[in-house]
């Protein structure tokens, strides 16, 4: 007897969490076949209806049309990123163009758009709520930006471009994962001499994860960065660094350079078919920034002071290197090592001294406690099968109300792509009852040996708070329509809730309570805490330069003619802005997943900085009260930012919280670059 496919049954699990213990890789293909069928039938019924178009029979019907697709895709897309395998990757390659074709067929359905256009034209006579009007406007805009108004050959060509871009984005992602999965460097104990014990232990655990003896460094940021910080072996640092930045640029089947070139060419053609001069003009039109010039002005306002700070630091680092009798130019594989020495000299901070105070479990509790103080949330562990033994889940409540299920998946492994992100298995909506989200944070922290606590760097802890800020944006969402729930906001606004939440990690009372030594349980000493907070902006020149350079290259790629050789174009942009020789882009083009794994951050990598201008100003609202958890300010933050999704224009949401828009000075001051 063939086992039942879990996607076709009711999920009798806590809070209808996907039954991960029952779902097999082979269940996805038939489930997707049914999902495409159900969605097409429902959408065609909306398009072919003979009655007058209304908000209910158009927008609300379309909201319901993808219910089964959302159920299947919610599981598949999350597993493809966090616990992938050959079977899932093969299906992902098949699905990418199929999804694109399905979307084009929907967006370019003439009968469907005619009804949508009529509804939109009559919008002021429909007695809609503010949220409904916003949803209608966004739906109409989505159709237009997807080519609904195109005719003939242009319509056919845009559909073909969309399918090809989907294929290219999937290939880019899988190539990058393949490079990260296959590369590692083996070490002896002698090779790791001089490295702190936590790094040696992590290298040993990484070897065990791959069924190897001894010690390895992989391309996971949680391993490669501390190795570059602490290894006194300049030759090994160089090998590791060059492998790290060469992801996607190694020739052969996993090389991404041709994919980038074709992607840029197709993006420009797509934008021009839709009536825009460049892809940046197309991409930025619905964002807060609106224009490429506004983005460039922001980036260049930060670039010069950041570069000046980085150059000053480079002189100090060079002196330290020469003192080690290395008479060479400071190189990118030297920066982190000598920056760690400089931090020790200037702030008397040692990562080996700090790290025992930042236990993963304690930092999770700190993030939860801040959410309780700000928004009244509580977190209770859930005993349910999840997709990996390292993942864990909590029920999130506000008073007696169930708000969400939160899943945390924190450790690096070869089946997980690099980086850290927030996603969801189910979105919040209230169209058909109070549907609450299932939200997941995925990180890549180095796993500790069995029985030992996982220790984080302060930057790791900041990443945890950042992703939890995204999770709160999803879990606190309280709108009617899933189309605008949670993080469904302008790209250059979506990082505000996450970057803002990072600030609570640095609140002294939070660290005094949760930064406790892994061995003694003692709170972080006040004197050490003072040194840590005083050094928060240490090396900000470097951090700002590597980020801003990446954003400027992304912008140049999408505002100018597509280059035949993207790597030459990258070099030209970096040369034109005077990129310091000892710093590289945070994401070199062949591994710039934000920009080339899909359209998400394409021509929009600047958005982290755009949001940072707001997050610095937003946290100032709490500082002005003298209380980092001021109830009145927290309520305004909840009501205007975290709970509202995309129910209003992003600028209006921020004005509702703060009353005015901030200037770039807030960012420069926050980064210590003013």
Pairing of strands 377-382, 392-398: antiparallel
- How far apart CA 662 and CA 51 sit, in angstroms, is 48
- How far apart CA 138 and CA 132 sit, in angstroms, is 10
Whose structure tokens read 């429902």? 42
Measured over the CA atoms of residue 359, residue 365, residue 369 and residue 372, the dihedral's sign is positive
- How far apart CA 449 and CA 204 sit, in angstroms, is 8
Tokens standing for 403? Answer: 């708000």
With left for phi above 0 and alpha for psi between -120 and 50, is residue 127 left, alpha or beta? left
- How far apart CA 182 and CA 191 sit, in angstroms, is 21
C-alpha radius of gyration, the chain, whole number:
25
Residue 495 near residue 288, CB atoms below 8 Å: no
- How far apart CA 17 and CA 74 sit, in angstroms, is 11
Measured over the CA atoms of residue 663, residue 669, residue 670 and residue 673, the dihedral's sign is positive
Helix boundaries (H) for 49-151: 55, 61-65, 67-82, 86-107, 110-121, 130-145
Whose CA is closest to 664, among 622, 609, 621?
609
For residue 239, give Cα distances in angstroms to 219, 234, 340: 12, 9, 19
176 φ/ψ angles, rounded to the nearest 5 degrees: -65, -45
Residue 306 near residue 540, CB atoms below 8 Å: yes
Q: Buried (b) or exposed (e) across 581-605, using 16+ Cβ within 10 A?
A: ebbbbbbbbbbbbbbbbbbebbbbb
Give the DSSP letter string of 165-201: HHHHHHHHHHHHHHHHHH-EEEE-TTTTTTS-HHHHH
Residue 412 near residue 445, CB atoms below 8 Å: yes
Tokens standing for 117? Answer: 């256009």
Whose CA is closest to 411, among 381, 379, 455?
455
Whose CA is closest to 330, among 348, 312, 352, 345?
312
SS (H, E, C) 452-490: CCCECCHHHHHHHHHHHHHHHHHHCCCCCCHHHCCCCCC
43 φ/ψ angles, rounded to the nearest 5 degrees: -70, -40
Tally of residues, the chain: 674
Q: Would you name the residues annotated as active-site residues?
A: 467
How many CB atoms neighbour CB 149 within 10 A? 15
Q: Give bridge partners of residue 435 from the DSSP assignment.
A: 429
Whose CA is closest to 419, among 219, 232, 131?
219
């Amino acid at each position: 007897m063939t086992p039942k496919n879990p996607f076709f049954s009711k999920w009798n699990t806590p809070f209808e969490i996907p039954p991960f213990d029952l779902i097999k890789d082979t269940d996805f293909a038939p489930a997707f076949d049914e999902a495409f069928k159900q969605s097409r039938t429902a959408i065609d019924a909306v398009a072919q209806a003979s009655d007058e178009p209304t908000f209910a029979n158009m927008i609300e019907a379309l909201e319901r049309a993808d219910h089964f697709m959302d159920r299947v895709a919610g599981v598949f897309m999350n597993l493809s990123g966090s616990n992938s395998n050959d079977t899932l990757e093969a299906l992902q390659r098949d699905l990418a163009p199929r999804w694109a074709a399905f979307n084009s067929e929907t967006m370019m359905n003439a009968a469907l758009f005619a009804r949508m256009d009529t509804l939109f034209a009559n919008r002021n006579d429909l007695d809609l709520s503010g949220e409904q009007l916003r949803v209608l406007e966004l739906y109409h805009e989505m159709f237009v930006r997807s080519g609904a108004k195109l005719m003939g050959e242009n319509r056919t060509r845009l559909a073909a471009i969309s399918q090809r871009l989907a294929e290219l984005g999937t290939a880019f992602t899988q190539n990058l994962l393949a490079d990260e999965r296959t590369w590692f460097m083996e070490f002896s104990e002698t090779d790791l001499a001089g490295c702190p014990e936590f790094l040696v232990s992590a290298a040993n655990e990484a070897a065990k994860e791959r069924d190897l003896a001894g010690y390895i460094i992989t391309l996971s940021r949680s391993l490669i960065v501390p190795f570059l910080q602490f290894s006194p072996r300049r030759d090994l640092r160089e090998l590791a660094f060059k492998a790290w930045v060469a992801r996607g640029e190694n020739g052969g089947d996993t090389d991404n350079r041709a994919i980038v070139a074709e992607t840029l060419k197709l993006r420009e053609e797509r934008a021009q078919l839709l009536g825009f001069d460049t892809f940046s003009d197309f991409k930025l039109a619905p964002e807060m920034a609106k224009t490429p010039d506004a983005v460039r002005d922001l980036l260049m306002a930060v670039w010069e002071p950041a570069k000046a700070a980085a150059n000053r630091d480079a002189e100090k680092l060079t002196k330290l290197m020469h003192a080690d009798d290395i008479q060479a130019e400071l190189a990118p594989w030297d920066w982190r090592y000598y920056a760690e020495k400089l931090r020790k000299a200037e702030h008397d901070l040692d990562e080996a001294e700090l790290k025992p105070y930042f236990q993963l479990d304690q930092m999770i509790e700190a993030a939860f406690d801040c959410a309780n103080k700000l928004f009244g949330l509580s977190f209770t562990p859930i005993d349910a099968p999840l997709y990996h033994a390292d993942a864990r889940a909590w029920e999130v409540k506000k008073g007696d109300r169930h708000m969400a299920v939160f899943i945390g998946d924190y450790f690096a492994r070869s089946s997980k792509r690099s980086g850290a992100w927030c996603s969801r298995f189910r979105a919040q909506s209230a169209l058909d009852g109070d549907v609450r989200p299932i939200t997941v944070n995925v990180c890549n922290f180095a796993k500790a040996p069995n029985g030992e606590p996982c220790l984080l760097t302060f930057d790791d802890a900041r990443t945890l708070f950042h992703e939890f800020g995204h999770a709160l944006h999803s879990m606190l969402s309280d709108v009617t329509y899933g189309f605008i729930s949670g993080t469904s906001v302008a790209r250059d606004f979506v990082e505000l809730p996450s970057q803002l939440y990072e600030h609570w990690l640095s609140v002294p009372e939070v660290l005094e309570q949760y930064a406790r030594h892994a061995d003694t349980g003692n709170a972080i000493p006040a004197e050490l805490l003072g040194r840590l907070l005083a050094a928060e902006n240490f090396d900000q020149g470097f951090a700002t330069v590597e980020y801003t350079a990446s954003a400027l290259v992304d912008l140049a790629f999408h505002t100018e003619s597509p280059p035949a050789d993207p790597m030459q174009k990258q070099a030209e942009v970096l040369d034109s802005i005077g990129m310091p020789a000892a710093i590289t882009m945070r994401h070199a083009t062949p591994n710039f997943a934000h920009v080339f794994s899909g359209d998400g951050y394409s021509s929009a990598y600047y958005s982290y900085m755009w949001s940072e201008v707001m997050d610095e100003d937003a946290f100032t609202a709490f500082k002005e009260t003298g209380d980092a958890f001021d109830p009145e300010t927290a309520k305004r933050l909840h009501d205007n930012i975290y709970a509202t999704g995309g129910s209003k224009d992003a600028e209006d949401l921020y004005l509702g919280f703060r009353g005015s828009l901030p200037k770039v000075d807030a960012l420069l001051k926050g980064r210590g670059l003013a």
